[in-house]
Amino acid sequence: MTWQERAAKLNGTPDYIHLQLKNEGYTVTREEVRHFFKTQRIDFKDKRQYTDEDIDAYMNAVKELQKKQEKLNTKQVTATIRLNETKPIAIAFWGDWHEGALGIDYDALDEDTELIANADGLYWGGTGDYKDNYITGTHPGAQFEQIMQPGMQDMAVQRRMKKVAHNNLWLVRGCHDDWDKKQGDKDFISTLCDITGGVNLWHGGTVYIELGSQRYTIKVRHKFKFESGLNVENSMRRMYDMQGEFDIAVSAHLHFPFKMTRPLGGKERILAKSGGYKKWDEHGQKLAGYQALRNIPTVILWPDKKDMEIMYLPKALIMLEALRK
């Protein structure tokens, strides 16, 4: 007789039955007896249960949902952009607007918006932090330095993007923009790219510019590892070490512009940081009396030869106009 058959003939609690079975020489655990007791004496009329097949069906649905959701995802880390131009062009690296903050040089921001919107042969890529965006859960007290609430900041940024949508190539998400994603799973950059038609370059990536017979490689991020206040080029050099070849490497975040041409890996490379408009703020003053500088690094590219020239926006526009006559 099996222990199950013997247990069915015994009366009492599961623990009593387990003790009786052990005394009679059966090898069985208390948990096995308790489970047998439940299946024999308790009848669950409407208990909800699932099978392994149900789990498999659920996982198949998850995989299908992810495929469908991915079709709605515009984020990418590489992009190839063909510019159908026969004359030299310029690309401005523009960001750190911090729309909505106190201490912003809004007049300078408006002036640069007009320059970028109206220059022939000029294109631009966004380097992040288009709004100040101190929302619940970010740095305590920083929201008191905003002259506009976050919802109004969204409207202001979208309005500015409409003015310069026609020549936008890409947008990168900055750390202030990223708070939307952290706090509310909202990709504001995707919304802005719907307005401009540019590439949603996520936190940054590689852009290949095809111009005439030439191909230029640009690495761009809002910020990158190994930022240094003493050696500003350091983070961009690390892009080369960690991510490979480029012609131009650009970042932002520090609110002051920087540009240089230097040899790396046997070739001349351009390294640049875009400036910002947040001239006065508590954080910068507390650190070391920092003030933002607005200059926008702008690179001129030639379509018929591999040649590049980096300068700040006003001077670049003078040179670009002369080259395109």
What CA–CA distance (Å, rounded) separates 134 from 177? 9
SS3 44: coil
pLDDT for residue 147: 92
Judged against a pLDDT cut of 80, whether residue 265 lies above it is answered with: yes
Tokens 């890409």 found at = 170
Q: Average of pLDDT values for 59-79?
A: 96
Q: How far apart are the two ends of the chain, measured CA to CA in Å?
A: 103
Band of the pLDDT at 57, cuts 50, 70, 90? very high
pLDDT for residue 286: 78
pLDDT tens string 194-247: 999 999 999 999 999 999 999 999 999 999 988 887 788 999 899 999 999 999
What CA–CA distance (Å, rounded) separates 88 from 103? 37
Give me the chain's average pLDDT, please.
94
pLDDT for residue 144: 78
What CA–CA distance (Å, rounded) separates 104 from 36? 74
Extended beta strands in 13-139, E state: 78-83, 89-94, 122-126
What CA–CA distance (Å, rounded) separates 94 from 157? 13
Judged against a pLDDT cut of 90, whether residue 39 lies above it is answered with: no
Band of the pLDDT at 138, cuts 50, 70, 90? confident
Q: pTM for the whole thing?
A: 0.85
Q: Average of pLDDT values for 175-190?
A: 92
Band of the pLDDT at 104, cuts 50, 70, 90? very high
What CA–CA distance (Å, rounded) separates 134 from 282? 14
pLDDT tens string 150-173: 999 999 999 999 999 999 999 999
Q: Average of pLDDT values for 94-117?
A: 96
Give the sign of the dihedral formed by CA 250, CA 234, CA 217, CA 303: positive
pLDDT for residue 230: 79
Q: Average of pLDDT values for 73-77?
A: 96
Torsion of CA 100, 218, 249, 200, to 10 degrees: 30
Judged against a pLDDT cut of 80, whether residue 284 lies above it is answered with: no
Q: Tell the burial category of 185 from Cβ atoms under 10 Å away from its Cβ (0-12, 13-18, 19+).
A: exposed
Per-residue DSSP letter, 199: E
pLDDT tens string 289-319: 778 889 999 999 999 999 999 999 999 999 9
Band of the pLDDT at 285, cuts 50, 70, 90? confident
